[in-house]
Amino acid sequence: MGEVIVITSGKGGVGKTTTTANIGTGLAALGYKVVMVDTDIGLRNLDVVMGLENRIVYDIVDVANGNCRLKQALIKDKRFESLFLLPAAQTKDKNAVSTSQMKELVGNLKQEFDYVIIDCPAGIEQGFKNAIAGAERAIVVTNPEVSAVRDADRIIGLLEAEQLHDPMLVINRLRPAMVKKGDMMNIFDVEDILAIKIIGVVPEDEAIVVSTNRGEPAVLDMASKAGQAYRNVVKRISGEDVPLMNLEESDGFVDKLKKLIGIR
Amino acid sequence: MFDFINRMFGKESSNSKTVATERLRLVLVHDRANVSPHMLNALKEDLIKVISEYMEIDQTALEVNLNQEDNSVALVANIPVLKMKRGYASGAASHS
């Protein structure tokens, strides 16, 4: 029996899909059997982020309506034999799948896979309710800025109300230089406000843009800092105890000077 | 002195994250109260229970709200008192 993890955020554009792609791919790279489910019906994107957009035949709505068997709709990844994607429908709306259909679908996937990773749509409407319906664990993605943290707080409250306890936090797109200047909330500020456990901190990284352009998740890019951060997240999900990465930038001239005269 | 040097090196000059955390703290008081209105209701019931030991109050007119000022949130309760109970002033316990 596998584990079902939903990746959610409330606010759009904080990196849910990127996080889903990287966690899914990273778990597969560790040898687990993984399926990623895109529940963002009408605005599917996990397929392009994974570089699998040309292979789609059936989607989640086809499965829910019985137009095809579940196995027919699963797309095998280019890189890993044990990694699959169940794409969202692009032409239907968010109510095309019901909560009970979703529960059943996820229940079936759980039999076959070690991890079922669900990419949740933005918002708190039906699409969100469907996405969390069959989940056992939740990962909340946020950025260190006011609107994203506020929405994350709302989502955490709604997850609790749906009996999804102890969600874990990914702080995405952190900019160490701004944190250092005091112009961006740091890990502890966000942790203090949201009062949930942090499972990863991912720095802002141009490599993410490049990897998304190519359809190759950054978690496989050994040179990328964000990739390293996602590899750590994946290890923590699978139960390994990995310390948070040191995101401090190497000391510049001013810092050396400050050290020299003893303030710091 | 250190302050001045820090400012010169741009450490404390534009600490906008402090502003961000402070604003978030305030807005989340309201957000969380809105997500669970039953929390305010439960508080109201508990208040009635406690206060009723000391005085008779008008339960239907009782109001409990969160009021926001510039940089603080206050819990404001308006509790009309109908009658004081006897006994507490003289020190004799009169739990009924």
pLDDT at A166 over 50: yes
Q: Does any CB of chain B come closer than 8 Å to the CB of residue A254?
A: yes
Residues B28, A189: C-beta atoms closer than 8 Å = no
d(CA A13, CA A145): 12
Residues of A in contact with B35 (CB under 8 A): 154, 157-158, 161
Residues B35, A182: C-beta atoms closer than 8 Å = no
What pTM, to 2 d.p., does this model score? 0.83
Least confident of A164-173, A218-227, B72-81: B72-81
- Residue A235 near residue A245 (C-beta atoms within 8 A): no
d(CA A133, CA A103): 6
* DSSP structural state of residue A1: -
Q: Give A5 to chain B, closest Cα distance, Å.
A: 24
User: What is the pLDDT, as a whole number, of residue B1?
Assistant: 47
User: What is the pLDDT, as a whole number, of residue B70?
Assistant: 74
User: What is the pLDDT, as a whole number, of residue B89?
Assistant: 55
User: What is the pLDDT, as a whole number, of residue A54?
Assistant: 96
Q: What is the mean pLDDT of residues A129-137?
A: 95
- Residue A238 near residue A33 (C-beta atoms within 8 A): no
Q: Tens of pLDDT along A107-130?
A: 999 999 999 999 999 999 999 999
d(CA A141, CA A20): 10
Residues A146, B9: C-beta atoms closer than 8 Å = no
Q: Tens of pLDDT along A36-86?
A: 999 999 999 999 999 999 999 999 999 999 999 999 999 999 999 999 999
Q: Tens of pLDDT along B9-46?
A: 544 445 999 999 999 998 898 888 776 677 888 888 99
Q: Give B23 to chain A, closest Cα distance, Å.
A: 8
- Residue A135 near residue A23 (C-beta atoms within 8 A): no
Domains of chain A: 3-260 (3.40.50.300)
- Count of other CB atoms within 10 angstroms of residue A210: 13
- The beta strands (E) that lie in A57-157 are given as 75-76, 83-86, 115-119, 137-142
In this structure, what token pair is assigned to residue A83?
């990694």
